[in-house]
A and B are shown apart, each in its own frame.
Chain A
């Protein structure tokens, strides 16, 4: 059975942008969603550097892994995506964070974009849209 993969640092890219396989920190409280997204990311040419179940883990793993990109769910327990976004951007204003949401209210999404998120994706994830959005965020 697939347990939570990558619960901690899997690789340290040193934050090098535009690597051959850009690294992604995947943050969502749903193991099912992380499983699905990880497969889609790998098939699209990304490398999943780590997985976080809530905003607190997301902030901690970002500091450790320094991934090229962060895919961050908006609605999570304990510490939601908006707070995690603020923490990550405070530590690294150049962080490339893409918001992921099925339930994000329009004003929440707008606020995240104003805070500095690069883009957002709606669930269920369209792999092609995800690849396009993530590669645009890298540019």
Chain B
């Protein structure tokens, strides 16, 4: 049982095909523009200006509108109007499926109810599994930061889907983790399959897959974890804490990292680039 995006849920139940899923995702993305895309469409920003703001967003982890205001590229009234327009035009995934004739309303409603029940149960199991753990604060912080960073760094949503044990990790062959030692030692890592690793690195570097070999993909995963760890450290640790950081480790398998369940957690995450495991520990 795991928290899943609606599309993934429907596909796994055989309600839609993978092709229908992809088509719906593309249609939804086109109808749910990012604030920057909307601003460019309306002629309020040039593409170069929107890119500048996106670059700043990656580094600063702040909202597009706030950065645009600070840079003097948009007025408050323009940001407000864009947010209203963005919300008004937004289509839910189910709505897209209806429009595309993939599913009828009655079936959609019953599947939505099943998805909701499944989500609630999975979310509860995840929360209970994490809440009592010694690393609950770190885990929840890492999940929240991933949720903020992924759209900005990788143009992808991500969400926590469940808890895994060390025995579940053999199917995630590529692992990168970053460790810090000192007053509050910890590590953050990510494990994934080759397709997800390639997709993430290509999104991070903004390059086509043909330009990314396996070594670069793994290295890119390490750099993504490096950035995530930087945010975790700045958000979780006090400013004056003493620690020593290490370069990303690309060799230690995920199962070995989380062998001690009392001192580590493996969190299954779903993303639009593919599933991955977020590893936290001390």
* A and B interact physically: yes
The interface of chain A, by Cβ under 8 A from chain B, is 1-2, 29-33, 35-36, 74-77, 101-107, 122-129
Which B residues are in CB contact (< 8 Å) with A128? 52, 55-56
- Decide: A126 near B55, CB < 8 A? Known: A32-B204, A106-B239: yes
Q: Give CA–CA (A33, B247) in the complex, Å.
A: 13
Residues of B within 8 A of A103 (CB): 178, 180, 226, 229-230, 233, 245
* B37 is an interface residue with CB less than 8 A from chain A: no
Question: Hey, which chain B residues are within 8 Å of A107, CB to CB?
Answer: 240, 242
**Contact A105 B213, CB 8 Å, known A123-B227, A124-B58:** no
User: Is the pair A122, B211 in contact by a Cβ cutoff of 8 Å?
Assistant: no
Q: Which residues does chain A contribute within 8 Å of B247, judged by CB atoms?
A: 29, 75-77
New A-B pairs, 15, CB < 8 Å, besides A32-B222, A105-B241, A105-B244: A2-B216, A32-B201, A74-B245, A101-B230, A102-B227, A102-B229, A103-B180, A106-B239, A107-B242, A123-B59, A123-B223, A123-B230, A124-B58, A126-B56, A127-B52
How many Å lie between the Cα of A123 and that of B216 in the bound state? Answer: 18
Instruction: Indicate with 1 or 0, residue by residue over B208-243, a CB within 8 angstroms of chain A CB atoms.
Output: 000111011001101100110110010000011111
- B215's closest neighbor in chain A, by CB? A31
Question: How many contacts A-B (CB < 8 Å)?
Answer: 82
- Is B94 on the interface with A (CB-CB < 8 A)? no
A126-B58 contact in complex given A30-B223, A102-B227, C-beta closer than 8 Å: yes
Binding site for A on B (CB under 8 A): 52, 55-56, 58-60, 153, 178, 180, 201, 204-205, 207, 211-213, 215-216, 219-220, 222-223, 226-227, 229-230, 233, 239-248
The reply to whether B59 and A122 contact each other, CB–CB distance below 8 Å, is: yes
Question: How far in angstroms is the closest Cβ of chain B from A10?
Answer: 20
Q: A105 contacts which of B52, B220, B245 (Cβ < 8 Å)? A: B245
Nearest chain-B residue to A106 (Cβ)? Answer: B239
- Cα–Cα, bound, A74→B178 (Å): 14
B180 to A, closest residue via Cβ: A103
Contacts of A104 in B (CB 8 A): 245
Residue of B nearest to A74 (CB): B245
Residue of B nearest to A128 (CB): B52
A122 neighbours in B (Cβ, 8 Å) = 59, 230
Q: List 30 A-B pairs, Cβ < 8 Å.
A: A1-B211, A1-B212, A1-B213, A1-B216, A2-B211, A29-B247, A30-B220, A30-B222, A30-B223, A30-B226, A31-B219, A32-B204, A32-B205, A32-B222, A35-B207, A77-B247, A102-B229, A103-B178, A103-B180, A103-B226, A103-B229, A104-B245, A105-B244, A124-B58, A124-B153, A126-B56, A126-B59, A128-B52, A128-B56, A129-B56
Query: Which residue of chain B has the shortest Cβ distance to A129 in the bound complex?
Result: B59
A41 CB, nearest partner CB in chain B, Å: 14
Residue of A nearest to B207 (CB): A35
B243 touches A105 (CB 8 A): yes
Q: Which residue of A29, A77, A102 has the most chain B CB atoms within 10 A of its CB atom?
A: A102
A residues within 8 A CB of B242?
105, 107
Please indicate which of the listed interface residues A74, A104, A127 has the most CB atoms of chain B within 10 Å of its own CB.
A127
CA distance A32 to B233 in the complex (A): 22
List, in ascending order, chain B residues with CB within 8 A of A124's CB.
Answer: 58-59, 153, 227
Q: Which 8 A-B pairs have the closest CB atoms?
A: A102-B230, A126-B59, A103-B245, A32-B220, A1-B213, A30-B223, A32-B223, A32-B219
Q: Closest chain A residue to B228 by CB distance?
A: A102
CA distance A107 to B245 in the complex (A): 12
Given the complex, which residues of A lie within 8 Å of B226, measured CB to CB? 30, 102-103, 123
The answer to whether A75 and B216 touch across the interface, beta carbons within 8 angstroms, is no
Tell me which of A2, A75, A101 has the highest count of chain B C-beta atoms within 10 A of its own C-beta.
A75
The minimal Cβ–Cβ distance linking A101 to chain B, given in whole angstroms, is 8
How long is the Cα–Cα vector from A82 to B237 in the complex, in angstroms? 22
